[in-house]
Structure 1
Amino acid sequence: MRADRALDGRSAGILRRAGAERRRSLRPIAVARIWILSPVYFDVDSYRRLRGELQAVLASLPLPPLAPRFVMVDDSAGRDPSVSKVEDTVQILVPPFNLGHQRAIVHGLRRLSREIADEDFVVTLDGDGEDQPSDLPRLLATLQDQPGNLRRIALAARTRRRETPVFKLLYFFFKHFFLLLSGTVVRSGNYAAFHGWVARNVLFHPHFDLCYASSLLSLDLEIVRVPCERGERYAGQSKMTYGKLVSHGFRMLMPFADRIAVRGLVVFALLLLLGLAALAVAFVLLAAGARISAAALCGLGLFVLLCATSLGSSLLLFALFSQSQGLSMTRLRE
């Protein structure tokens, strides 16, 4: 009798475990979400083509199933009637006014931050085709190399640009000017991939109010550069004028205000000391009876005044940077 009861107990335990295993096997497989956000400014047809190519690329990825969430930021601020042609499955965000492509990306990600999970994938790219969908697998593979590292960011590093000779010449001078001031060169644009943790925590830094691409580099984050050739626009021409490019270039410098301020302090302090030393030598020579032209003395005095003014400007820039760092701390979320 006891043996029968023991056997019945073991059988019931086996059945319970088997039932539990069966229930676990019937649970849906977890599907990672991938958010793909693009700013669009009167270029809906290009975006629709881009979305179709991205869907084909995602379907061929040798990764676990990904549930794509396409998000378009209408940077026309609702003035583009062709936005109505965009598929219903695309989430459309409309800012109150034109922000420019980089700030439109930041605006969109900040609005989505409550919906994005830390483990989700997030991809940002231009909607005109110059950021090629075929490069997406290599960006995502960079994140998959360390699946538990939610802080890693994959940036598309431009290896070739298809631009006019005038633009290439201006970019050459800008690149070296940027290097001189900041000590680095920004070779990336809006094409980036990272986990939702970055969107939820990092993109609220005040630097991103100014610029997207250079802010990612200015904060000393874990960046991995993936060489990617810049593609050609699907249709039309860029609406970025040379005036807007100059403005964009200065905004790219602003997140590096700390490095620019420190370099300015060091350089102009050394020049000021050199000028003061030269003035001291000149006065000693004058006291010893040497002849020094008035033009030389005036030029030396002007040099010292210029260095002092530049040093003051660098100190002011450093003070503004210190204040911005304080503001960035106040905006950190709990």
Structure 2
Amino acid sequence: MIPTGVELIVVTPVYEDLEASSRLFRELDAAFGGRLFILAVDDGSVRQPLPGNAFAGLSAHGAVVKLRRNVGHQRAIAIGLGVAADYMTEKQCVVVMDSDGEDLPGTIPPLLAALNDPQVDVAVAQRKSRVETLRFKAFYEVYKRLFAFMTGRAITFGNFMAFSFSAVRRLAAMQELPIHVAAATLASKLRLRVCPLDRGPRYAGQSKMNFVGLALHGFRALMVFAEDVLVRVGLLCVAIAAFSVLGGALAIGLKLAGFATPGWFSVAFGILLLTLLQTGTLALMMLMLTGVVRSGSVTSAAGYKEFIDCVLVSGERVRLNG
């Protein structure tokens, strides 16, 4: 499906964004021409589905992967990487980017240049400037600090990344990939190179991501490191529980010594007991959440095909390997 002369494979998810994605395809074609293969994952679009001839008139090659339903931005990328892993060769590399124009085609060369270093498996884009609202920037700063506190890791990049052949094969086999692509890249222990790049404005339309969606996206990044979060929350719960037990013992001692005023002991001991019970409940919930995440995360290199309705190359359906 992917010609041997192709040097670069671009994986981009598209959901109800025909105008912006069409412009992206033209700009990518102008920048890379016949050396490029565009793997556009249509994430169950209904109103503006990608046509099978989306790359007509371009010198670049391409395929439209149509999904059976809307699976979400991150899982769509994971499916695209699964397809790429099955068809790419060792001399090819993969770039993941959004289809709305905020990831600029002109900033791809610095990512590819970073991959020329044999000590680099993944080149990630760190934003030097953002065309975002003050509310989004404030939330993003809070999210980065919360992520670092809960996981002990720093995440300063999004989906705009370039991968070597070995990196794509490794990530496609990770069950965490469809949960959060950037966090899964951190968890993969691949060697990263950070490239400061500018972020552009959308080509057309408005972002479909609202505040609730952003919060959920941030929470999914924590889910990838569920065990680390559990340990940190568990240690915090143990510290609070120990404080509660010591405080309760002190309250009982003061009561027996006759230093407690009427009603003080029952209120203080009740608050400490509730704190102890709540920390125990929180630790149990985190343990259950970890089990749910691990048992429910699917889409490995072998399982992504169940989400694909068809793959169109020049308007014609093609069969996937296997």
Structure 1: how far apart are the matches of 2:194 and 2:301?
31
Mapping 1:124-139, distance limit 5 Å: 124-139=96-111
Structure with larger Rg: 1
Deviations 1:106-131 (A, max 9, x none): 11221332211233211110111100
Mapped contact 1:182–1:259 kept (Cα < 8 A): yes
Mapped contact 1:265–1:315 kept (Cα < 8 A): no
Q: Residue 168 of structure 1: which of 137, 148, 172 is its match? A: 137
Aligned position for 1:39:
13
Q: Residue 97 of structure 1: which of 66, 69, 84 is its match? A: 69
Q: CA deviation at 1:202?
A: 2.1
Structure 2: how far apart are the matches of 1:87 and 1:331?
28
Comparing 76-85 with 263-272, which one deviates more in the overlay?
76-85
Deviations 1:286-310 (A, max 9, x none): 2333325121221122222222222
Aligned in 2, Cα 1:184/1:160: closer, same or farther, shift over 3 Å? farther
Number of aligned positions between the proteins: 293
Runs of at least 5 residues in structure 2 that lack an aligned partner in the other structure: 304-322
Q: Secondary structure at the match of 2:206?
A: coil
- Identity rate, percent: 31
Mapped contact 2:52–2:64 kept (Cα < 8 A): no
Report whether the alignment pairs 1:269 with 2:243: no
Structure 1: how far apart are the matches of 2:299 and 2:254?
53
Structure number with the bigger relative contact order (C-alpha 8 A, sep ≥ 6) is 2
Q: Secondary structure at the match of 1:38?
A: strand
Structure 1: how far apart are the matches of 2:211 and 2:272?
38
Q: What is the aligned-residue RMSD (CA, Å)? A: 2.9
Mapping 1:1-334, distance limit 5 Å: 31=5, 33-58=7-32, 67-77=35-45, 80-81=48-49, 83-84=51-52, 86-88=54-56, 89-146=61-118, 152-291=121-260, 293=264, 294-317=266-289
| TM-score, normalised by the number of residues in structure 2 | 0.80
Q: CA deviation at 1:239?
A: 1.8
Higher share in helix: 1
Aligned in 2, Cα 1:259/1:328: closer, same or farther, shift over 3 Å? farther
Runs of at least 5 residues in structure 1 that lack an aligned partner in the other structure: 1-29, 60-65
Q: CA deviation at 1:31?
A: 4.8
Q: Secondary structure at the match of 1:162?
A: coil
Structure 1: how far apart are the matches of 2:126 and 2:47?
33
